[in-house]
Amino acid sequence: MSGFLAVLVVVLIFVVIFQISKASEYVSILKGEKNARSQSNRINGFLLIAFLILGLIGVWWCNDLLKDKILGEAASDHGEGIDQMIYVTLAITGIVFVATQILLFWFSFKYQEKEGRKAFYYPHNNKLELLWTAVPAIVLTVLVAFGIRHWYRITSDAPKDAMVVEITGKQFNWLIRYPGKDGLMGRKNFHLINEINNPVGQDWEDNLNKDDFMATEMHLVVGKPVKLIIGSRDVIHDVGLPHFRLKMDAVPGIPTTLWFTPKFTTKQMKEKTGNPDFVYEISCDQMCGVGHYSMKANIIVETQEEFDAWYAKQKSQYDIAHADDAPAAPATEAKPAADSTAAKKVVAEAKH
């Protein structure tokens, strides 16, 4: 019912606009084309000024309403730099936006058609063209340089003490692999992929694979650098880490990497956001098929003690894949039957 009313309201609005336009045509015929055009210009000029004022108020109101309420504070050290770069970019482009919009709407009002006014023809000015070409080019070059600086930081070599986590995208979920106690990942071969017990194609002939394990969610240690090794099994995906302000393409056959240091545990973020259900999320930021919207996983940022307790409970993927190959437990020997004479004696005593 509410949908029908909404459609009805929209139709009525279009009917009213159509009737007003027809009435304006009749008025212009009665007053004459010149007077009607002059009156229309005055109305449009005032409407443009009203739109400018209301529009700028709306921009400021939306910014004040939504600032720091969508994602909150950056939860990684790299994210702080990304936020700072965004603020600088918004400040520069915001100043240009406000200035140009004010000039655009004010000029439309001030220089509207009037009796006896003739348009000024201004075809060329080398200094002006040089100014509005060179200044934006310099500013954009500086902004791009800041962006490249942050990009190189994110994709540079991770610290030597960084933990390593592999994340592989497939339609439509994420496969997360951790190295065992040796800290080294075993090699993979896509020919060996098995959906049941070998989802990333680990080569069991490589001893480094014997202690690697898979996880359904990513566990990280607060304050400890982590290097992500990113790949894909099928199409191009994208590891999106919005709370950490990071993202990186997952490309089939071409591993990509990034590293960062989490600043807050999941528990701390629940307190900061006031949301008891808060969770760090891994999203897919590249359209990858019909199930793209559902492709996500969770990240748990915790203390070293909590991580160690979780880590100790994990079972290697090798053991899971070879569970059926384990030798059967030896059968227990049957106890000899009790002496029949003794049994008869017990039965007789029970009857008495």
Q: Are 230 and 248 in contact (CB under 8 A)?
A: yes
Q: What would the two tokens of residue 118 be?
A: 């003739």
Give the chain's domain count.
1
Judge whether 17 lies within some domain.
no
CATH number of the domain encompassing residue 208: 2.60.40.420
Helix (H) and strand (E) counts in the chain:
8, 10
Largest CA distance in the chain: 137
pTM for the structure as a whole:
0.73
Domain range for 173: 163-323
- Burial of residue 331 (CB within 10 Å: 0-12, 13-18, 19+) is exposed
Distance CA 36, CA 29 (A): 8
Give the β-pairing of 246-250 and 218-221.
unpaired
Q: Are 83 and 74 in contact (CB under 8 A)?
A: yes
Judge whether 194 lies within some domain.
yes
Whole-angstrom distance between the N-terminal and C-terminal Cα of the chain?
87
Q: Which amino acid is at 18?
A: F
Q: Tens-digit pLDDT profile for the chain (352 aa)?
A: 666 777 777 788 877 776 776 666 656 655 555 666 677 777 888 888 888 899 889 888 888 887 766 667 889 999 999 989 988 998 999 999 899 989 988 888 888 777 777 777 888 888 889 998 999 999 999 999 999 999 999 999 999 989 999 999 999 999 999 998 888 999 999 899 988 889 999 999 999 999 999 999 999 999 999 999 999 999 999 999 999 999 999 999 999 999 999 999 999 999 988 889 999 999 999 999 999 999 999 999 999 999 999 999 999 999 888 887 656 555 555 454 444 444 445 444 544 4
Tell me which DSSP letter residue 158 carries.
P
Question: What pLDDT score does 338 carry?
Answer: 44
Judge whether 273 lies within some domain.
yes
Judge whether 232 lies within some domain.
yes
| Residues near 238 by beta carbon (within 8 Å), at least 6 away in sequence | 169, 247, 248, 249, 250, 284, 285, 286
Judge whether 10 lies within some domain.
no
Spatial CA neighbour of 192 closest among 181, 182, 204: 204
Sheet strands side by side (includes 296-302): 218-221, 296-302, 280-284, 237-241, 246-250
Distance CA 19, CA 156 (A): 64
Q: What is the CA radius of gyration of the chain?
A: 35
Helix (H) / strand (E) element for 239: namely: strand 237-241
Judge whether 281 lies within some domain.
yes
Question: What pLDDT score does 352 carry?
Answer: 46
